[in-house]
């Protein structure tokens, strides 16, 4: 199995590896080391290996050069600009000390005149250094987006000349993944490669091609977590999307089976890549055993952690912290929801985005009702959240948000929490159909306040909806059966594990992983 992250932070990938190993498959999960050093551990019966991945191709050649046309006086991008700016500040500090000594009476008129000349020279040099530094930062900012007429022409040229191979010029960093993973994949000589998402598709497909040249048949499964044209680009430049989309289109024909997260996304993939069959849908749902398991001794429930009694309204957001997740509306609404506490259970409690939300809560006089908490182990999430009053999903209108039920939707559901969700298509429709919560317009503070007030006024009305929802279908055990059937269809007959189709219940994991999508 291949993934482009550090594994310890991706619940879907970990559950996939562990359930496959528990079903009898020999599983090696390869990920990317976040520290630069290789690492390995066992995830149940699955072996995890993190590979060292240098990424020298991440920066483009123009980032190492001076931009003579845009900024002819700019410093070269070597770090010399910061060095020169600091040196001038040190010079002026030294002159200030000399001025103070002269003020004490030492030195004659000649020394004073000489000091004035040096101070004037320092001011002139400082302005010149500042101008050159400004030219450097301005030119870098203009080039970072790669949207200039020259950059657009460059992108268009290579797309026309190379077609699906254009990513080699537009996003060469994709080769860094190949060079980090390829040799290890070949050495493992797998029967099936399970590639998670778009970057690993190319790594898996190239390994399959090399194996075929050596007379071995490898089957390739592609697990599509997100619809690439519908994501917010992970790099702030114009080439990222066309390059990664070209990479995906080049290697999709080598796939033997596709798994994805929603029926809508399955249909889009079959349309875009003319797939011979509709991709299998595997939802990122909690383990059934985790839903009923008690919290371990080191983990209290969210209400206890926040120091709140059972009668205090508490609304929670769990998952990655980012602007497109829409968390700001929860803070902006706090003055209109007196007595209601807000908890963020996030991947980076001290990151700049969360710090901005905390500062905003202080400005609104509501900081005492805002609680920022770190992730807990994914097998503890449902029980941890279950004492909250409601779970909030305020995400913005990105295509991937529209077409699927995301991880936290299932976690809130198994926790029997009333859900407050923005009007993204699939989750809003499901929430309305089930009666398990309220829907509000994205970023509309008044609509959000209305939804929260409705739930706080009668939370049991929404909790009662779960009596008629088949939550058993929203468990990982049910999803693992879909995957196992696919493995058995693709694997050589003599390599099939013994036992019936499906995976046994998954034991408690021993690592901290991603709370929500």
The predicted model scores a pTM of 0.82
* 459 alpha carbon, distance to own chain's centre: 32
pLDDT, one tens digit per residue, over 84-134 is: 999 999 999 989 888 888 876 666 788 888 888 999 999 999 999 999 888
Q: What are phi and psi of 221, to 5 degrees?
A: -105, 135
d(CA 339, CA 369): 8
Note whether 37 and 65 are within 8 A (CB): no
pLDDT, one tens digit per residue, over 162-177 is: 999 999 999 999 999 9
d(CA 368, CA 123): 47
End-to-end CA distance of the chain: 20
Show the beta-strand stretches assigned E in 305-365. 314-319, 341-346
pLDDT, one tens digit per residue, over 272-301 is: 999 999 999 999 999 998 887 788 777 789
CA-closest candidate to residue 217, choices 208, 206, 229, 225? 208
CATH superfamily of 288-473: Glycogen Phosphorylase B; (3.40.50.2000)
pLDDT, one tens digit per residue, over 398-444 is: 898 999 999 999 999 999 999 999 999 999 999 999 999 999 999 99
- Give domain limits for the chain: 11-57+172-224+256-281, 61-146, 288-473
d(CA 65, CA 205): 34
Residues of the chain with pLDDT under 50: 503-517
CATH code that applies to domain 11-57+172-224+256-281: 3.40.50.2000
d(CA 207, CA 213): 10
**C-alpha triplet 337, 342, 347: angle, nearest 5°:** 155
For 242, counting Cβ atoms within 10 Å of its Cβ (0-12 exposed, 13-18 middle, 19+ buried), the class is: middle
């Amino acid at each position: 199995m291949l993934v482009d992250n550090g594994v310890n932070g991706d619940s879907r990938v970990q559950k996939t590896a562990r359930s496959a190993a528990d079903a009898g498959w020999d599983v090696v999960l390869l990920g990317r080391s976040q520290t630069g050093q290789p690492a390995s551990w066992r995830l149940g019966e699955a072996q995890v290996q993190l590979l060292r991945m240098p990424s020298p191709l991440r920066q483009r050649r123009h980032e190492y050069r001076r931009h003579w046309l845009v900024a002819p006086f700019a410093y070269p991008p070597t770090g010399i600009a910061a060095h020169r700016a600091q040196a001038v500040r040190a010079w002026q500090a030294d002159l200030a000390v000399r001025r103070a000594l002269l003020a004490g009476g030492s030195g004659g008129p000649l020394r004073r005149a000489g000091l004035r000349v040096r101070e004037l020279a320092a001011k002139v040099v400082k302005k010149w250094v500042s101008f050159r530094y400004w030219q450097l930062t301005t030119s870098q900012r203009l080039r970072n987006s790669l949207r200039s007429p020259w950059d657009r022409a460059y992108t268009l040229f290579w797309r026309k000349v190379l077609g699906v191979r254009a990513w080699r010029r537009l996003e060469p960093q994709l080769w860094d993944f190949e060079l980090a993973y390829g040799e290890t994949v070949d050495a493992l000589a797998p029967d099936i490669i399970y590639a998670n998402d778009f970057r690993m598709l190319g790594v898996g497909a190239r390994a399959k091609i090399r194996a075929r040249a050596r007379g071995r048949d490898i089957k390739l499964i592609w697990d599509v977590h997100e619809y690439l044209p519908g994501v917010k680009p992970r790099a702030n430049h114009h080439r990222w999307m066309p390059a990664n989309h070209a990479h995906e289109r080049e290697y999709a024909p080598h796939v033997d089976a596709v798994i994805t997260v929603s029926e809508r996304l399955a249909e889009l993939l079959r349309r875009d890549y003319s797939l011979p069959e509709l991709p299998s849908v595997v939802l990122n749902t909690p383990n059934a055993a985790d839903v009923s398991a008690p919290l371990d001794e080191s983990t209290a429930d969210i209400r206890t952690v926040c120091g709140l009694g059972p009668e205090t309204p508490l609304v929670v957001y769990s998952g990655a912290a980012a602007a497109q997740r829409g968390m700001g509306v929860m803070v902006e609404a706090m003055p209109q929801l007196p007595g209601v506490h807000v908890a963020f259970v996030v991947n980076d409690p001290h990151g700049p985005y969360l710090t901005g939300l905390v500062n905003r809560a202080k400005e609104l006089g509501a900081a005492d009702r805002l609680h920022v908490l770190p992730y807990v182990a994914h097998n503890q999430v449902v029980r941890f959240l279950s004492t909250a009053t409601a779970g909030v999903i305020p995400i913005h209108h990105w295509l991937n948000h529209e077409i699927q039920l995301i991880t936290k939707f299932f976690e809130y559901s198994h926790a029997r929490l009333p859900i407050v969700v923005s009007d993204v298509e699939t989750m809003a429709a499901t929430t309305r159909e089930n009666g398990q919560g309220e829907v509000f317009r994205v970023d509309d503070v008044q609509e959000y306040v209305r939804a929260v007030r409705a739930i706080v006024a009668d939370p049991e009305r929404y909790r009662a909806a779960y009596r008629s929802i088949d939550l058993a279908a929203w468990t990982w055990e049910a999803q693992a059966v879909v995957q196992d059937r696919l493995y058995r269809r693709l694997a050589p007959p003599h390599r099939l594990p013994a036992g019936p189709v499906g995976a046994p219940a998954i034991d408690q994991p021993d690592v901290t992983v991603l709370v929500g999508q």
